[in-house]
Structure 1
């Protein structure tokens, strides 16, 4: 009996955490360049429309799309780089999704979707699922280069060996434009707080907590670097942390506003130069944004300090020959310094017979009651193991252990 009890306890504990392998998606720019359509795409998508991730979801003039509650976000899925696999329905239908700490909703394409983007991705067939329940409500997100419309339903969702029952999710039925056409993923699974959700009901992780299927109210990300020879997989761990992935200590930062994963940031310091965000500002941790974003006036000055110059497409590039001489950028969070070198904040991509080096900073203006927000996206999070603690409403950061390149 003692052996049986030990076996049962071991089995239960093992099922209370799940590891989700995360694959890194090549940037949309690289995909378009490979297809030979980059220049044509940039003509039709101004950078201010293409790169902005956050704005009002339903601007004035679209009353037919309004829900009973408002929103203030949109998503730039174009450069979101890390995705993993889930299933929806019974029997399970598989989808690849971005695990996004900058949003709170789950959506996948519907079999009834009429857009080209849906035709190129896996689509949910509600009529084939024995556990599907139609909701009847609609949802919509307005994008700078298009918008997304869909209907809401409930069904069984599986992530690894974990099963979430009666999960609210969206089925997109209209994805106009080319924003989703080249995406490697099918949909998005949001991991932010419920107050940020468009779809009424519990987000996925909230349901995991309510249904008591995780060991701890914690999830953590290990995001990998892209090397010249390979693109190793990262990992999302639901229900705990993996101490083998990082070096101690962990620096804990309290969440200030329970919408985004939002914290106070002490300052941003350019080596040998000026400081930004002086006297405190706020930042959000966002796995669905590839770059580091900040207020336009400060990002423009930061680009100048690292010697980045704008291109006709609106992006900023630096001279690849000068990378070793570029300054370090230090983010001071909770009194601790998090320093990025040019190796971390410059993205080098092949272009013909040479490389182009793109700045990892972008201007994104997000107004909040606390003032303009900075976004610490994948450029930052790749260097640090990040722990999102819903039990104590805090974020932990520790140096990630990456293989020597």
Structure 2
């Protein structure tokens, strides 16, 4: 049914045409490592730095892998003719598409689907190398072109990466690869992002939206060229971008009980589906965690699971509007490590409004007027 709907949109040039991709909320690499008692070991071996993907050096030939240290959301795409299917994380904090390939012998690749270019009649290689840096390791590969299918719509001649090496941490991830949704200026090797190719070919309108479910494994989705009012209440609040590289906005302050506890005087924040936590400068995060009653232990902000119902609401004040998060939204309980807040150190002046925030606020990413729309998710 979706395929015929897409075809009808293309034939009739319907302005309201949109493409939906169901997202699955799955067990993360961190969950898998915790189950095996290996999380602390891997954190020591591969120190996690969520700000790696947002350093300017990565915008000129390198990019970061999405954060999968907490929860992850992924969907199915296919590449090639006939199609080969992959699970990918839709990441608004990077711009490249890449998947594992048959040229990769790393352990991470053996546990994931691998693209075989020899089986695709539409594959074209350009032999250009690709190097990707991320918070828990690195990946190398080559670039090629093929037809990419997303949500039932085919995007011909799409450039993407084929991995040749991947970090050990990737072996514990459910998703096979990444589909980046940030601006082209961030793309490694100047590879055109999938969404830009969609818009350029007139397949969808120049915006997309994301809904992340809070509890259910199913129900999350990304809609290319549209939005779904059934997933939010009230009107969208439009916030202009302060930089057209990431989906970066200006945040006014972070308050608890009406008192400013972080981002005093304003700060820059990136809305990023590929980061699980809300990340900020170390001193600001320490202040915020302290204000909500958390104590830091080995990098984690620990709270008493029995106290969550009495913990305060945190307000993120943006463009004159207050976006609030109750304690039930910014805390997470692990079967192995108790309860923690979703506020993490970034070691940078930038904030990242990751999945902890986006689960509470339906988000529209508008390339037409370079803005982000936020509304209370339902």
TM-score w.r.t. length of structure 2: 0.92
Whether the 8 Å CA contact 2:30–2:39 is kept in 1: the answer is no
Say whether residues 1:187 and 2:177 are aligned partners: yes
5 Å-filtered alignment, 1:347-362, equals 347-351=332-336, 356-362=338-344
Post-superposition Cα deviations, 1:331-365, rounded to whole Å, max 9, x if no partner, equal 011111111111010001223xxx81111000113
Whether the 8 Å CA contact 2:139–2:165 is kept in 1: the answer is yes
Whether the 8 Å CA contact 2:92–2:272 is kept in 1: the answer is yes
Query: What is the Cα deviation at residue 121 of structure 1?
Result: 0.4
Whether the 8 Å CA contact 1:56–1:71 is kept in 2: the answer is no
Query: What is the Cα deviation at residue 100 of structure 1?
Result: 0.5
Q: Taking structure 1 as reference, are residues 331 and 365 closer, same or farther at Cα in structure 2, changes over 3 Å only? A: same
Name the CA distance, whole Å, in 2 between partners of 1:333 and 1:159.
32
Greater alpha carbon shift after TM alignment, 47-56 vs 377-386: 47-56
2:22 maps to which residue?
21
Say whether residues 1:363 and 2:349 are aligned partners: no
Say whether residues 1:225 and 2:217 are aligned partners: no
Say whether residues 1:213 and 2:203 are aligned partners: yes
Query: What is the Cα deviation at residue 55 of structure 1?
Result: 5.4
1:326 maps to which residue?
311
5 Å-filtered alignment, 1:52-131, equals 52-54=50-52, 69-71=60-62, 73=64, 75-79=66-70, 81-131=72-122
2:148 maps to which residue?
157
Q: Taking structure 1 as reference, are residues 246 and 298 closer, same or farther at Cα in structure 2, changes over 3 Å only? A: same
User: What is the alpha-carbon root mean square deviation over aligned residues?
Assistant: 2.4
Post-superposition Cα deviations, 1:298-338, rounded to whole Å, max 9, x if no partner, equal 111211111211224x2121011111221111001111111
Whether the 8 Å CA contact 1:53–1:76 is kept in 2: the answer is no
Q: Taking structure 1 as reference, are residues 160 and 394 closer, same or farther at Cα in structure 2, changes over 3 Å only? A: same
Say whether residues 1:265 and 2:265 are aligned partners: no
Gaps of 5+ in 2: 1-6
Say whether residues 1:135 and 2:126 are aligned partners: yes
Report the secondary structure of 1:45's partner residue.
Answer: helix
Whether the 8 Å CA contact 1:147–1:176 is kept in 2: the answer is yes
Q: Taking structure 1 as reference, are residues 172 and 8 closer, same or farther at Cα in structure 2, changes over 3 Å only? A: closer
1:4 maps to which residue?
none
Gaps of 5+ in 1: 1-6, 60-66, 367-371
Name the CA distance, whole Å, in 2 between partners of 1:77 and 1:148.
15
Report the secondary structure of 2:68's partner residue.
Answer: coil
Say whether residues 1:373 and 2:350 are aligned partners: yes
Whether the 8 Å CA contact 2:248–2:268 is kept in 1: the answer is yes
Say whether residues 1:395 and 2:369 are aligned partners: no
1:295 maps to which residue?
281
Q: Taking structure 1 as reference, are residues 8 and 193 closer, same or farther at Cα in structure 2, changes over 3 Å only? A: closer
Name the CA distance, whole Å, in 2 between partners of 1:144 and 1:396.
28
TM-score w.r.t. length of structure 1: 0.86
Report the secondary structure of 2:141's partner residue.
Answer: strand
Query: What is the Cα deviation at residue 32 of structure 1?
Result: 2.3
